[in-house]
Every structure is written in C-alpha cells, then in structure tokens.
Chains A and B, each alone.
Chain A
Amino acid sequence: MKATMANKIHTAALTALVYLLASGQAGAACNAVFSAATVQLGQLSAASLKAANVAGYRSMGSKGQVLNVTCDVPQTTFRLQFDGLTPVAGQPLLRWGAVGAMQMRAIGASAAGLPVPMRLEGAAASPYTGSVLLTQNDVLNLDLSHVPLPSRKSFTLELELTGLLPSSYVVRSEVKFDSNIAVQLLGQP
C-alpha cells in the first residue's frame, strides 16, 4: 500500500516534470501582433503640409502603433529588433518610400501591465528611459527589474510614427509613400 502510494507520488512527480519540460519547449514561443497591419497617414495635399519639427521637412502627420506580445512562459529579458530600416544620413530619421522620411519613436512600454523603461543596445546604446528614438535596425531592451518573473509573459510597446516630406521636394503628381516595418523578438544577448 505504501509502495503503491509512493509509486503514485513518483508517477505524479515524473508526470509533472514531463509537463514542465513540455511546457518549457512550447513556452519558447511568443506571439507578437501589431494593433494595426497598416498605419495610414492619409491622402494629403502637399500644399497644406506644415513645417515639421525636423529642419528641412514638412510633416505628413503622426499616428500611434502598439506592439502586443504574449509569451507562453515568463521571460527573463524582453528584447526586440526592428528590421529593414534605412537611416537617413545626418538626420535621426528613417527612409520612407522613395522620397519620404519617417520618425519612429518608442514612447512607452509595459510588462504585465506595468510601465517599464527601455533602452537601446549596441552602438546606439542609451540608459533606460521612457522614450527612445529609433534611427536604424536597433535592438530595444525593456527594463524588467521591477516586474516579478512569473508575470513577465505579456508586453506592449507603443510607437509614434511621423511621416515627413522633404521641404525641397516638389509634389507635381500623386506620390505614394510605403514602407514595411518589421520587428523580431530576440532572446538573451
């Protein structure tokens, strides 16, 4: 009887271990989704564009975008990298279509619903802060030090996107601006 009980406990323990291992494998995956597949700044009249806060550019407007990430298991770190971005030489901007530029700023991040600061890694490394300007294919790192480990399964990143048109560019006919912005979740460095 005792042996049977012990066997049951053993079996339960092994089952739990197997479950943990299995869930551990599955937990390696996170699901990242942007709140909008397309951010449309609209159909704009070039003549009505106002000067931007970046010298030499007219603003085509700003819109927000939110990246929501959910993971199956808690994450010790949360890092992500933007891909396909081309910097504009000499300006804290990114190319947008053939003639435009855009400013992309991370203006807020949260982990498990708690606001967290963020910073850039690599050449553009910065201290943790509440707002980060992305100027290339930067790696962004969230500060999770105040978020309990078991809770680190959901993350959000708020972006502010501003379209810019060079002041010197003459719009003689309809011009389309179009850029694909991709983000990839990274593991530990």
Chain B
Amino acid sequence: MRATPTTGLTINAPPRLLTMLNKTLIAWSVGAALCALIPTHAQASGNASFVLTATASPSTCNVTLTDGIANLGSLSIATVKTYPITAGAYTFPPITVPINIFCSAAANVAVSFVDNLSGKRLALGSNDAVRYGMVDGTGTTAIGQYGVVFTSTTTIDSVAVGQYLSAPNGTTTIWSSTSYNGLPASMAGPGLTIGFSKTAAAITPDAFTTLSGGLIFYPFISSAYIGAATGAVYPRGSGTLTLVYL
C-alpha cells in the first residue's frame, strides 16, 4: 500500500513506515491546520483599567486687617461734644485700618462684609443701610453706627482700583458699581461683596495676586446718648470680612 504524501515531500521509507508516516503527516497536517486556526478562533481576552484623578482648589489667598481693630481711642466726653453732629449723631474722625490680600497665584476674589451687630444699628437717616451697628459697653444698647469704605489709594497688583463693584453676598454674578442708596461700591456696606477692577467702568472684578490698601471706618454715635452719659462710654462694633472666590 502506498500513500501519496500530502505535503509533496519525497518520502523514502519502507511501505509500513510510510503508512505510519502518512498518518503522521496527516496528523501534522491537522495539527498545522489547528495551529493556524487557533489564533483565528482565539478570543483575545483580557482587560485592564486605571483611574484618572486630579484635585482642583481655589488659589490660596489670605486677607489681613491690621490688628483687626479700628480703635477710636480714649476720648473725653468733652472732646466728643466738639465733633460735628449729623442726623442726631456725633461724627467721629475716621480711622483707617490697613487691609492686604495676598494670593499664591492670580485669583478672582472679592471680599464679603457682614455686620455681626446688624440688629443693633441705631436708625439715623437715609444712609443707615450702608452702615453697621454699634452698641454700648453692655453690648445690648444700640448707640450709633459706622460706615466702612475702601481708601482711594487701594491697589490691586500695584495698580489703583479703578472700579469697585458690589453684589449682595452669595450672589456674585451681577455686579453693580454702586452700593446702597446709589453710593459708590467702595462703600462696603453690610451684606455686600465687594470686587475690584483696575479699569474704570469695568462690570466684573479682575483677578489679582495682591491687594494693598485700607478700610476707613466712619463712626457715628447718637448725640442723645453722649449727652446723657455720666461716665465713661465704651462704644463697640463688630463685623466679619470674608474672601470670596469668584
């Protein structure tokens, strides 16, 4: 019995061996066919995964209000009585407190103002809304009010602020160039967030790295209260200033 080699190879072997070789060749052929088919049918299985992460935070900004106190000093009642009276209140000399903001990178930040004694503002006139409450030494009796305004020399990144902008606290999408009663937005009224721009007539605040300037405090104390005083008086106000990332 002779078999024809399927590979075309010349097989030089006795018939019996050739028979076996022929089977072998067939087997190899099948094996080779399987070998070729294996990758074709193999479903390349496997999977892998990874995580893409990051963290974003506002720039680190710090605000400092030198000492955090606008100290009226120790004044005699007689001296106070020499101050001009406006709308039933003595107008004290203004006190300027330096304010500085420093950010690790240019940041669009503003400053919100809150009156911690909002229920203790003695009504004096049309500008009450832009002012803060003031109490006596007991901490309970409203005896006056005070206004807060940025100095005209305040700068951002060494450029004079050309436009102050205000928005109600918590709503910093619509900015106004005015504070309450049409007063300039540099009047930092309670409940307002104040932004800064280098450009006059700007409608949105600028980003900056440093702000350098001052807050001027204008105290007004009831003339009736001063007039009735029989001893030392200890007027006191309190507010909170917070950086707001825009």
How distant is A83 from chain B, measured CB to nearest CB, in Å? 8
Known: A2-B17, A34-B48. A173 touches B40 (CB 8 A): no
Q: Are B52 and A161 within 8 A (Cβ)? A: yes
Q: Are A20 and B35 in contact (CB under 8 A)?
A: yes
B10 at interface, CB cutoff 8 A: no
* Contacts A10-B23, A48-B105, A178-B53; A29 near B31 (Cβ below 8 A): no
| Partner of A181 from B49, B60, B245 at Cβ < 8 Å | B49
Q: Which residues of B contact A89 (CB under 8 A)?
A: none
Q: A181 near B51 (CB under 8 angstroms)? A: yes
Asked if A6 and B53 sit within 8 Å, CB to CB, the answer is: no
For the complex, is A125 an interface residue (Cβ under 8 Å from B)?
no
Interface code B19-63, partner A: CB below 8 Å = 1, 0 otherwise?
011011001101100110011101111111111111111111000
Q: Is A69 part of the binding interface, using a Cβ–Cβ cutoff of 8 Å?
A: yes
Expressed in whole angstroms, the Cα–Cα distance for A27 and B37 within the complex equals 12
A45 touches B60 (CB 8 A): yes
Main SS of the interface on chain B? mixed
Q: Which residues of B contact A2 (CB under 8 A)?
A: 14, 16-17
Q: Which of A13-64 contact B (CB under 8 A)?
A: 13-14, 16-17, 20-21, 23-24, 27-34, 36-49, 60-61
In the bound complex, do residue B39 and residue A32 qualify as a contact, i.e. CB atoms below 8 Å apart?
Answer: no
What chain B residues lie within 8 Å of A20 (beta carbons)?
31, 34-35, 38
Q: What is the CA–CA distance of A180 and B48 in the complex, to the nearest angstrom?
A: 10
* 8 Å CB contact of B42 from A21, A75, A161: A75
On B, residues with C-beta under 8 Å from A are 14, 16-17, 20-21, 23-24, 27-28, 30-31, 34-35, 38-40, 42-60, 103-108, 207, 245-246
